[in-house]
Structure 1
């Protein structure tokens, strides 16, 4: 068993650490492969940090939080956190006998890049969780200028980490190919594609929960419920989801659309009032999501077309499928085309394909949820993630 230090950089809204990575690290601990340590850099409030700390304690994970200041402005606070983080990581590695460091994404990689000589001298291995294409994602959806100094600096840090890391984790075969093309094929043997898996004991089909949740939403069993979970930024195509639902609603006036999102305000003012009355927007805790997914008949997982989506493995797609839901999704997202293309429970929607989608939706209730779940377990389960991460740890 080796001491592994996972390093993350998260926003105040992110729950990836406690809902995705903690279960994976715990699974690796149960296999006797690692003892997990986590250092999180974030600007989350104290209540959020306390919640994460409790989740770590419950799973036997050592957790440390380092606050990133947003004052006097966000950029300076981030620079200060990175500078201090280098010394914090070095001290933690020394004090806890850490043998493997796993920085997730660009900012933690920047800290670890300052320690390469010392890490090699002390025989500390590095697994870089490349996390899709985060820099390209900023260009695609956050307005980052590809010619800016900031973009150039972040890209240099990422490339340095890709070259020097002992292992690299990606979320798709496409990401592996693109990194190989950008850096050189010599890095391909050390790249491992891993799943963003969900715990099937948490996400499971339950008829009683379905009935209770549907009653709370005022739905009869024959009524069709669409569901979307997650953030609602421009990359998630909210207006197009609503347009598709409106088209379906015109054929089935009993249909409803449930949106589960952490966002405080969602603007639906552009919709006619009769449609707005059929759309419910709720903020729920992570533990409550499976109950509402049980209530649903269809899951939506759309992404705006952009270069960065090739590196993704959308968690919500896996959640829907493990819950036995048929899905409507976008093409070109990670490896989902390869995994789901041709499956009767998955419809790849592109603009202009509305008529085909409406035809497909006519058979929505005919899909076998148990069969969908059984298929999904091979690609989107926590067990698959733990298996993939175990492969990445081999030989380190």
Structure 2
């Protein structure tokens, strides 16, 4: 199918590299990178919206982490719970927000040890940006395998566009190369998480400029950027 196609649209450079290495007869010039963008008119940072949602959720100065979207075996819940357990044991003030369409699954899975620090919500898509703005860190944790080389998580762009620093797994698509040098992104090896180093990063994120993070997110993940990618590929 790839050999007969005129053009092949992929999310990552790793996809191109893998396919052309597996089949050396494939022409790399037929492959095009296309984004996975969101509308900056919806996903952006607003201090007013942030304060309103935090007031509704009765949040004060604690650090708020958020996971938005799908749950299941591929999303490293065990790793996430291990991190939350470490924060809880160190008496680090935090709340964890899950925005999910499957709240019952999650409520039953959260360990009792820190269940009181977890907020599980099911909200409409149009409300998601406001809840992201209310958080302090976006979580993009995945179990890494061959399949993750080809993905570009749309939630990662949503987090950044809403001004959130991001905690993410190493080995997700091209993100290591794209975001590895950004202070707003902390990339962890899911096999050997160093919690003390992660804690230091958590303590420093309050000094980051949310408007600058949102600008970075828009540059990389906006709908306009994605449309430009498709236009270049399909013309």
Question: Normalised by the size of structure 1, how large is the TM-score?
Answer: 0.56
Task: Provide the residue aligned with 1:230 in structure 2.
Answer: 69
2:39 to 160, 179, 199: 199
Deviation at 1:253, TM superposition (A): 4.9
Once the two structures are superposed, the pairs formed by residues 49-198 of structure 1 within 5 Å of their partners are 160=1, 162-198=2-38
Partner SS state of residue 225, structure 1: strand
Flag the structure with more relative contact order, 1 or 2, with Cα contacts below 8 A and sequence separation at least 6: 2
Distance 1:361 1:254 in 2: 11
Distance 1:272 1:329 in 2: 22
Instruction: Identify if the C-alpha distance between structure 1 residues 186 and 269 changes in structure 2 by more than 3 Å, giving closer, same or farther.
Output: closer
Kindly indicate whether the alpha-carbon contact (under 8 Å) linking 1:163 and 1:183 is maintained by their aligned counterparts in 2. no
Deviation at 1:335, TM superposition (A): 0.7
Distance 2:175 2:139 in 1: 14
Deviation at 1:388, TM superposition (A): 0.3
1:372 aligns with 2:213: yes
Task: Provide the residue aligned with 1:323 in structure 2.
Answer: 162
Task: Provide the residue aligned with 1:361 in structure 2.
Answer: 202
Deviation at 1:353, TM superposition (A): 2.1
Q: Which runs of 5+ in 2 are unaligned?
A: none
Task: Provide the residue aligned with 1:93 in structure 2.
Answer: none
Deviation at 1:268, TM superposition (A): 4.8
How many residues align? The count is 233
Deviation at 1:370, TM superposition (A): 0.9
Instruction: Identify if the C-alpha distance between structure 1 residues 254 and 356 changes in structure 2 by more than 3 Å, giving closer, same or farther.
Output: closer
Task: Provide the residue aligned with 1:392 in structure 2.
Answer: 233
Partner SS state of residue 208, structure 1: helix
RMSD value, Cα: 1.6
Question: Normalised by the size of structure 2, how large is the TM-score?
Answer: 0.93
Kindly indicate whether the alpha-carbon contact (under 8 Å) linking 2:159 and 2:166 is maintained by their aligned counterparts in 1. yes
Partner SS state of residue 265, structure 1: helix
Task: Provide the residue aligned with 1:216 in structure 2.
Answer: 56
Kindly indicate whether the alpha-carbon contact (under 8 Å) linking 2:138 and 2:167 is maintained by their aligned counterparts in 1. yes
